[in-house]
Amino acid sequence: MTPTRSSLRPLLRANLLATLRNPMALVYGWLFPLLFLVGFWALYGDDPVPLALHAGQFFTITILGSAAFGLPTQMVGERETGLWRHYALAPAPRWRFVVALVLARAALLAGALLLLHWTARALGMPPLPHPVSTTLALMVAALCFLCIGALIGTLAPNVPAVQALGQCLFLPMLIIGGVAVPLASLPGWALPLSNLLPGRHAVVAIQTAVTGTGTRAAGFELLALTGHGLLALLAAVILFRWEPDAGLRPGRRGWLIVPVLAAWLALAGLAAQLARPVPAPPDRASAGTPATYVRPTAATVLPQAPRPAIIRAVPSPATPAAMAAGIPTPAVPAVAAEPAVPASVDLDRIAFERLPPDAGLVAPIAAEPPDPVLESALARIRRQLESWPPAREGDARQQVQTLLLIAAVPDLLQMDPLERHLPALVEAELRQRIPATVLPNLLAQIALDPQGGSVAARSQLPAIGLPAHAGPEAPLRGRVMLYAFKLLGRVTGRRVGDPPAPAGSD
């Protein structure tokens, strides 16, 4: 076994042992991120889904802290004590000492991220819908920031300087980089600046993997992170020094710093041009109750639907809203042989115009066709839906309600832009699976009795590539109700798209 081939493993082992025996590394690397997580949990306790909407933020803070402080502190500390000089005497390629250090720090970081994930799950965050995409996003973000940390370690002459340089990176990203303060809350002047910082790309990439359609939709962010990481690594290599007192003497390749800086500026400019729109602020709007969307007068009545064979239902206690609308008692799953199917629905008593606009934040429905990337994601969901057991369980009402979850959960999680296209997918599935004569009644039953039926299938959504929903059922049932109303309007032709804006309005 030559020293060259065998050197990385013992170095990695030694670095891991040294890191795990360093109480401060564990406090800053593992304990602080957990405290941040609990802070997010306490701050955003009224989120419709616990923690999921902030996963990009708390994962990025953990990576940033470990990379901007932990790695360079260790680098500078070892260089100051002369350990690197001692290593440099050994007949192993010298880059391996730094690579082993970075890998050990990456392992510590991986442990922190796993710990964070498990704790977030324990606090109610739903399972990850795209574990591979999430892992990829976390890895790219971690490597990017570790490269930046290596650059800090190269630039800083001593440990106090690491703190100063690290804060120069950490604080701007926390405050105006979309990491701690959400992009939606930033003032207009700060948004262009956020494009210069990789923190924004990390948050978007991780968030898209956790509550979006996976990293395919965050291709630019992953590329930007890779670019930032590579440029930082290149600068660190050019300025690298073994000796604590060597000073910043770039040597013969020093001129390379100029193109590196130019490339970084170009990358930042490109990010400013190509950055996706700022996400909407957190959607915590209440969906209201069925009574919100029902008028006291009646006019048109749907013809009685023929009784489909699949329906097995018995009457459930009538809700006040249903009684007010003159709608027969909705049915709930049961074993009764002869179901009581609602005979008719008074559509005129449903105030479709009071529903939130399709172009709005709550229960949106896209007016335009999806772009190719989204179409590919939608096609994948459609394929997986064919063999998704929950969509075939229970009676017809339950099946409709389960399919509505596919639109309601992404709406709560603000999976923009996917959330706006899923209602059309659900509508198409409903039209294909449920007879047209039955569908309006079933939608009306769900809309007018949102507390009926089960939403247990919310936990099985990852099987079709969507995030699961956890936490209280009420916000979810509210969104199911809204989509039931909206799709009822679409299948009956009462409300297809937003009504035209009144003349003179903006």
Under the rule (CB under 8 A), what is the footprint of other proteins?
1-4, 6-7, 9-11, 13-14, 17-18, 21-22, 78, 81-93, 242-243
The CA distance from 427 to 503, in Å, is 31
Report helix, strand or coil for 17.
helix
C-alpha–C-alpha distance, residues 298 and 348, integer Å = 6
DSSP string, 482-494: HHHHHHHHHHTTS
Please identify, using beta-carbon distances, which residue of 89 and 299 lies nearer to other proteins.
Answer: 89
The SS3 assignment for 331 reads: strand
Token pair in block for residue 498: 């937003």
We find the least distance from the C-beta atom of residue 21 to other proteins, in angstroms, to be 4
Residue 248 vs 379, nearer CB to other proteins = 248
Q: Which is nearer to other proteins, 90 or 261 (CB)?
A: 90
Encoding tokens for residue 42? 């306490």
13 vs 253 by CB, closer to other proteins: 13
3-state SS, residue 160: helix
Nearer to other proteins, 4 or 451 (CB): 4
- Give, rounded to a whole angstrom, the gap between the first and last alpha carbons of the chain: 75
Can you tell me whether residue 313 is helix, strand or coil? strand
Whether omega before 417 lies within 30 degrees of 0, making that bond cis, reads: yes
Residue with tokens 């009071």: 354
CB of 248 to other proteins, least distance (A): 15
CB nearer to other proteins: give 89 or 337. 89
At closest approach, how far in Å is the CB of 9 from other proteins? 8
12/408 with CB nearer other proteins: 12
SS3 167: helix
Instruction: For other proteins, give the closer residue by CB, 70 or 465.
Output: 70
Angstrom distance (rounded) from CA 492 to CA 305: 13
Q: Which is nearer to other proteins, 108 or 332 (CB)?
A: 108
Give the separation between CA 472 and CA 145, rounded to whole angstroms: 36
Instruction: Give CA–CA dist 277/183, Å, rounded.
Output: 10
Contact (CB, 8 A) for 365 and 423: yes
The amino acid present at 480, given as its one-letter code, is V
- The least CB distance from residue 385 to other proteins, in Å, is 53
Nearest approach in angstroms of CB 91 to other proteins is 4
Residue 69 to residue 64: CA distance in whole angstroms: 8
Q: Which residues contact 366 (CB under 8 A, 6 or more apart)?
A: 358, 417, 420, 421, 423, 424
> What is the smallest separation between the CB atom of 379 and other proteins, expressed in angstroms?
53
- Least distance from C-beta 173 to other proteins, angstroms? 30
C-alpha to C-alpha distances, 146 to 102, 143, 244, 245, 394, nearest whole angstrom: 7, 5, 21, 24, 50
- Taking the complex as a whole, how short is the minimal distance between the CB of residue 74 and other proteins, in angstroms? 11
Q: Which is nearer to other proteins, 4 or 387 (CB)?
A: 4
At closest approach, how far in Å is the CB of 225 from other proteins? 32
**C-alpha–C-alpha distance, residues 32 and 62, integer Å:** 8
- Nearest approach, Cβ of residue 67 and other proteins (Å): 21
